[in-house]
Every structure is written in structure tokens, then in C-alpha cells.
Amino acid sequence: MAGYVQPHTDPSGAEGVGPGPQLVSTAPGLEVLVGPLLNYRRMSNELGASTWHGSVLVVTRPGQETPELTLTPVGAVDGSTEKASFTAGANRFSADKLYEDINKAFWRFLIHLPFQEFESRWQYDIKGLTYADKSKTEKPQVFVVPSISQSMRILFHSCNGFSVGTDVDAWSGPALWNDVLRMHAQKPFHVMLGGGDQIYNDGVRVDGPLKPWTAISNPHKRREFPFGEKMRDDCDEYYFNNYVRWYGQAPFSTANSQIPQVNIWDDHDIIDGFGSYTDRFMRCAVFRGIGGVAHKYYLLFQQHMAPPKSTFTTDAPQTTSVGPEGTDVDPEQLKKTFVMTNDFQDPSFIVGQKPGPYVEERSRSIYAQLGARIAFCGIDARTERTRHQINYPETYRMIFDRLNKEFSANKELKHLVLLLGVPIAYPRLQWLENILSSPIIGPIKFLNKRFGFAGGLFNQFDGSVDLLDDLDDHYTAHQHKHERRDLMHMLQNFSKEHSVRVTILGGDVHLAAIGRFFSSPKLGIPAEQDFRYMPNIVSSAITNKPPPQAVANLLAKRNKIHHLDHDTDETLLEIFDRDPRPAGQANGVVSNGVANGETNGDIDVKKKTADTNHATMPSRNYAIICESYPSATGTSSAAAPQPQAVPSSATNGDAPQQTSAPVDRKANTRKPMHVGEQGAGTEHPAANGLTATGLCGRYGLDVSLRVEISPSDREGHTDGYGFSIPALEVAAAV
């Protein structure tokens, strides 16, 4: 066994540890279990020209020869583009073996291509690819890259799975991915941002290997329960099979092979509430163990990276310690297994300085430029999370050091899209936290422990009120108040220094909303000049069921105008002018597919919210974000209408920047505040998600929330709610 821990070169050419399964496949082709999965990584100039970097992952049977991929230019997206001559031809790439055991092997292709003067299509083919599941057929995969002068057209989603106990058929499965593919066919997405919970692994405690442990009624015995090699191996098998099932399921599998992904993780990628239970319970062996297993497959499936050599077990607890080469390897876990150790560390990652408290690995936040004028940062807000902390202070410092470096070096960047996973501009629920944490719950908890009374109210882990872990996840939770304020102040300083508009993305809450931070009206700063104006696009869930209508209505009633500090206010925009429905139809029974010119039976469209609720939408959804000004080298069909006539002023000597009317210091800031928010909702020109509006000047952004019309529609048709975001002209700010 001692030889397992010594690095060596695998027959595939990869350097790693472990002997591997010692198998040779006799299949005529490359036997694929799941994939290909396509990721976007970053832009660079390191190859002498502006270069797109990405990766492709396939999971195969063990014992395969090193796979090969051919990347070929197909043509311009706009067929009428003149002189659509590519600067590069076909290119071949060999795969890196990231991991292999007796059941599977993970192969990753690092691919790159030069940006063109036009929006372009590229095809990748993997030599000899055949599916182990013979019902699946291989086909060439095509993705789209923006022109060198375009910013990326962004799809944002979160909560891509179902909670335990959900009637999946009643919600037509992951139907909204059909709508994503329809929109992609009409106007291609260049990247899709996953805001966490790309998969739900909660079933591990219901019908998986943690079921016996969950059934232990005594919390002390549950905390002291060992996480040995047998349980680790069983959990490893469960997480892998769950990924194969979910990532191999159409229509999601079609999208993740043709729209490049960038993902951060959240609790359900591990298990519901991970990080937000009591510290004493989170440090138990079982939670440490499943944190390690979930992290392993998160790295492999979602980040296309080699996993750690070993993960935590009580049989070999030293495997998580840092020391001389080899001390972090459990020989038992490396039997018939190979793990790559010299994996390429992509510069897109911002790696934390120390391991998290419960996932004993370092956090991985992400920075990537999304085309010409938009940058992206996704904060890993799960690895370091506890009930009282979301990220370490030094992690925030590293992230903002990286942002300042990137934006100082590139003055063409106009927008930062910041992905937090959980909303940060959101109604307060401290009154509910106070009730659920108060002594009044004590007698109910005693009755639950002794007699099972109100069993659904308490979680099966630490015995706390089940809803508390969700509330503790929120940035608006009382224990995160100071961290939230400090983060917003860092963002404000960054925005002001670089004259960059910050737009925040959040998911998790299973409804759609638009939050905004902005300067107090008493300061009289229009949004175009307001570095404090930061919209928070809340889009959740693309697959999971929404909360009851009553919950959404309650949140809308709690939509007060809050004060982050003396100069910064926050509230939700009242964007939902009506319930989603096909154009021209009232609530009731409508023809399935009317919104997209199809008829395929009848669907039942039910009322979503109270007539007074215009701020929260409890219906499955996703978001589209793109530049509001049509690029001269973009798709010709995306030409923008003439924007409404408004006063304008120059923005850095470039395009006219539309200016809102003078700030009304007594106006209701839950209503539209600037030109891009006027008419927000279904009648806004950005609502269709396909046409550049021309609003908010050359550097504005259009946003479309695509909201499901009816869960009984298996094709997942949506209705759109739109608004636009102005770029920042900070010179006039105070």
C-alpha cells in the first residue's frame, strides 16, 4: 500500500497517485456514462490573440485509451455577415485523466479558440464516442462564442433539482430547460451561470446510505456516529450515481453540452442546510465526511478539476491534515484508484488561504471576463460558511484585490456581475427568526422529542426548527448583518473607484424578484451617476417547486424601504405587473404553447399571486442578461428599436447616456427610479429576452426574467418581465 501514495505517471500520461483499476477496455469505442459537459473558464491574450478558454468533460467506463477531441469552426451566427473568414481551422486536443476507479473514469479536455470579428459557431467531436446507455445517440455538439467586440449573452439559473418529497411529475420535471433551448435556438447564449444547487443530493438521508444515521433519535449518538470507510464508499457511490442520473437527463443534458457553464455551489450540492446548523453538530464525523464526498464530485462534474487524493473518514482522520508529501493520502481509498496530482490550476480561480470549518478544503471563488465589457465574479459562499459567518475576512480581501487588479488593467470593462448564490437585497424576516428561536418553541421541541409532536417542524439533524437553516443562510439574517454591510461598502467603494456598475445575482429562495440598493433620495443622485445603485436579480428556481402563494405574498408585504446606512436605501422593484400568461390571454385555461406559436393541448394557468403583490413571483424561472445596445458585429436580427426620447449626456465621450428625470425626494422607490425601469414588467421592451432595447445608452444591460406560465406544461413555456440597467457615470456622483 505504501506505493499508492508515491506520485507516478499513469499510462495516459497523467501524473498522480494510486495504481488505478488495472483494466483495459475491449469496447470498440469510447464508452461514455455521462457527458459531454461544456464549461467556460476565461479570456486571455496568452496565445498572441484574444482567446476563449473552456473545458469539456466526459465520464467513461474505466480502462479506455486517452480520448481525442476535434474543435472545428462552423460559421457565423448571422448568415449574412460579410467576410466571415475564420482566423483558425480545426484543432485537436487530448484529454487529461482526472480520476479513475473500477467503475468510471473522468476525462477533461482543456480547449481554446481565438475570438473572431463576428459571432461564431464552433463544433466539437469526441473520437469514437458511444454511450454505455444504448438508448442515447451521439451527435456533434455546437456552441456559440461572441465576437471580439461583443459582451456575452448570459443565462442565469439556480436551484436545478427537486426537494425531497416533491411530486416530480406534477411539476413536469425539469421542463424550463425546454424553454432555455428554445430561446437559445432563437438567439444563442454564450454562457450560463449556475448560482448553486445545480443538483439536489438531499436524498442521501432519505433513500441513501445516511438513512440509518438520520433515523437515530438521540442527537448525542448521532453526533458521535463514525464515518468509516464503508459509509464513505457508500456515499461516494450515491453522489456519483445521482450526478450521472441528473446530468445525463434531457433537456438539461442538452443544454449543458451546448451552453458553456460557470458554476458555484450551495447547500443542496452537498445536503440541505450544510453550514447553517449548529457548530457542534456541523463538526460531527458524518457531516465532515459527506462534505468531503460532495466536494469531490463538485470539483469533478462542475469544475472539471481533479479531486483531493482522499476525503475524510474516521478510519483515517489524518488524511485531511496538511503536511509532507503523502500524509494526506488514505491508502484504503486509493485501492484500484488513480487521482491526478499535477492538475492545471486555472487562473480564473480565487483560492482561499485556509480550509473551511466543515468542508476541509479551501474555497474557490471565480473571476472571468465575459466578453468585451462585462466581468464576472462568483463568490464561493458555502465552503467557509458557518451559522455566524459566510466568508473569512481574508477571502473578501483576496477577491477585491483581484477585482481591483483586473479593472485597473482593463478600462473597457463597464459592468461587474457578482454572483452570491443567496439574495442580499431581500425582505427582512427577523421577526420570524425571533419567533423560531424564542423560548416559546421550547415546549414544542420537548413534545417533539418525547412524542413526535409537530414532527415536520423540526429538522432531522440537530433538532432545530427546520426553517431556521434557510433563514440563517440569508445575508439579511441578523447574525450576518455586519458582514453584509461590510460587503456592500466594499462593493460601493469598488464601483466608485472604477466607475463600474455592479449587478448582483442571487438564487436559493425559489421565487423571482428584483432587489436594489441605491443612494437615499435626499442626496438627489440619479441612478446613472449613483455608484450605490446595485440591482440584485433574484432568479430561483429553474426546476424546484416554488413556495406557496401565501409565502410570496407575505414577503411582498414585508417589502419595506430599508436603510443599509445613512446614505444607502434598499427595496424590491415592483416589476410584476400581472401573472405570467401567453400574450393576449387572461388567467384560465389557455392553449399550450400559444406564447411561441405552438398548439399542443390545453394547460391550466392558475393565479400565482395576490393582486397587491407586484414584488415577488412564486413560479419557476430563469434570467437573461445582455447588453442593451446592439453590437455592429452582432446578429443582425437583434437590431434595437429607437429608445424613447429622453435627455442625454455624453458618457466618457462615447455613446449618449440617457438620463433620468431629477430625483423626486418623496417618490416611492419601490416604483421605477430611472429610464431603464420605466414600464418594468411584461410590457418593457427587454421582456422578450431576444431584442436589444437601446435603453440606457451604449453600455446598458437588458434583463429578462423568464417565468413559467404553468407547471402542467411539459414544454415549460415562459412569459417575460423586463427592465434595463444603466452603466455608471461616476464623475458626477457625490
The tens digit of pLDDT for each residue in 511-547 reads: 999 999 999 999 999 999 999 999 999 998 999 999 8
Are the CB atoms for 265 and 381 separated by under 8 Å? Answer: no
Are the CB atoms for 521 and 669 separated by under 8 Å? Answer: yes
Provide the whole-model pTM: 0.90
Are the CB atoms for 169 and 131 separated by under 8 Å? Answer: no
Are the CB atoms for 310 and 316 separated by under 8 Å? Answer: yes
Share of the chain above pLDDT 90, in %: 68
Strand ranges inside 597-651, DSSP E: 602-605, 621-627, 648-650
Q: Is the pLDDT score of 7 beyond 90?
A: no
Return the closest-CA partner of residue 243 out of 216, 265, 275.
265
* pLDDT reported for residue 217: 85
* pLDDT reported for residue 10: 83
Are the CB atoms for 158 and 264 separated by under 8 Å? Answer: no
Q: 715: number of CA atoms within 13 Å, CB side?
A: 18
* pLDDT reported for residue 180: 98
Q: Is the pLDDT score of 46 beyond 90?
A: no
* pLDDT reported for residue 9: 86
Name beta bridge partners: 123: 72, 142
For helices 481-498 and 393-409, what crossing angle results, to 10°? 10
Q: Is the pLDDT score of 560 beyond 70?
A: yes
Q: How far apart are CA 181 and CA 174, in angstroms?
A: 12
Mean pLDDT of 484-496: 97
Mean pLDDT of 82-101: 91
Are the CB atoms for 110 and 67 separated by under 8 Å? Answer: no
Q: How far apart are CA 588 and CA 605, in angstroms?
A: 5
Q: How far apart are CA 161 and CA 271, in angstroms?
A: 12
Mean pLDDT of 354-364: 94
Least confident of 357-371, 547-561, 653-667: 653-667
Ramachandran angles phi, psi of 590, nearest 5°: -130, 165
pLDDT band at 593 (very low <50, low <70, confident <90, very high): very low
Which parts of 187-263 fold into alpha helices (H)?
Answer: 211-214, 219-224, 229-247, 252-258
Q: 89: which residues sit within 8 A by CB, 6+ positions away?
A: 72, 73
Return the closest-CA partner of residue 695 out of 637, 643, 640.
643
Strand 338-340, strand 15-17: pairing: antiparallel
Q: How far apart are CA 702 and CA 681, in angstroms?
A: 12
Are the CB atoms for 573 and 537 separated by under 8 Å? Answer: no
Q: What rounded mean pLDDT belongs to the chain?
A: 86
* pLDDT reported for residue 219: 85
Mean pLDDT of 546-574: 92
Share of the chain above pLDDT 70, in %: 84
Q: How far apart are CA 235 and CA 204, in angstroms?
A: 7
Strand 362-369, strand 120-126: pairing: unpaired
Burial of 431 (0-12, 13-18, 19+ CB in 10 A): exposed
* pLDDT reported for residue 479: 84
Q: Assign residue 119 a region: left if phi > 0, alpha if psi is -120 to 50, beta otherwise?
A: beta
Burial of 83 (0-12, 13-18, 19+ CB in 10 A): exposed
Are the CB atoms for 573 and 723 separated by under 8 Å? Answer: yes
| Higher pLDDT, residue 143 or 641 | 143
* pLDDT reported for residue 49: 84
Q: pLDDT per residue over 451-484, tens digit each?
A: 443 344 344 544 443 443 455 567 877 888 999 9
pLDDT band at 663 (very low <50, low <70, confident <90, very high): low
- Count CB neighbours of 199 within 10 A: 25
Q: How far apart are CA 377 and CA 487, in angstroms?
A: 14
